[in-house]
Amino acid sequence: MRLLEERILKDGKVRAGGVLKVDSFLNHQMDVNLFMELARQWYEAFGADNVTKILTIEASGIGLACVAGLVFGCPAVFAKKTKTKNIDGDLYKTQVESFTHGTVYDVIVSRDYIRPEDRVLIIDDFLANGAALEGLCDLVSQAGATVVGAGIAVEKCFQPGGERLRKKGLRVESLARIKAMHDDGTLEFAD
């Protein structure tokens, strides 16, 4: 996906410790026209797979998931990071470790919105250690539904999540794949 890689080169910022800041267009300010192009790329990959539901995790996946829902013609669901008063009824729950924030948190989704017959496409902005994506796969599995695959915007290929999940059989389509990030602020994409 040249478009997103070009945008990262233009507007992304490499910070110490393997941090890539893309908050000018992806996860704080959101370039929704870019989101539409990304969603169309995911549709090229998964459009024939009869996706019935988009699943993401709050917060920065929600915008991408909604635009993907428009393109795939199905609802989007976001898993929540804590149990709030306003969700009742039965939940699926899993735990996710955030390496960014150094915490472990519960992730929940209502049983009403992932059904056994659903064919779920998981969407997220980043794939690095894979903890969030693995947690979302677990929620879908608990529901007895099918994970069609995962559409990721930016994959950090130098972290282990993508390789581990592909080895487990998950189909992962990442639209920008970063092979290395350097202390001088440059980065390299995977082929």
Restricting to residues 68-107, name those near a copy of itself by CB under 8 A.
69-70, 73, 75-78, 80, 84-88, 100-101
Given candidates 18, 24, 47, 164, which one binds a copy of itself under the rule CB under 8 A? 24
Q: Return d(Cα 78, Cα 21) in angstroms, integer.
A: 23
Minimum gap (Å) between residue 74 Cβ and a copy of itself:
8
Contacts for 184 with CB less than 8 Å, ≥ 6 apart: none
Taking CB under 8 A as the criterion, the residue among 3, 6, 29, 168 binding a copy of itself is: 29
Give the DSSP letter string of 78-126.
Answer: EEBSS--TT--S-EEEEEEEETTTTEEEEEEEETTTS-TT-EEEEEEEE
Contact with a copy of itself (CB under 8 A) among 63, 135, 149, 151: 63
Q: In this complex, which beta carbon is closest to a copy of itself, that of residue 32 or of residue 166?
A: 32
Helix, strand or coil, per DSSP, at residue 47: coil
Size of interface with a copy of itself, in residues (CB under 8 A): 40
What distances in angstroms separate CA 139 from CA 20, 25, 52, 143, one per listed residue? 28, 29, 16, 6
Name which position in 113, 119, 146, 171 contacts a copy of itself (CB under 8 A): 113
Closest CB 191 distance from a copy of itself, rounded Å: 27
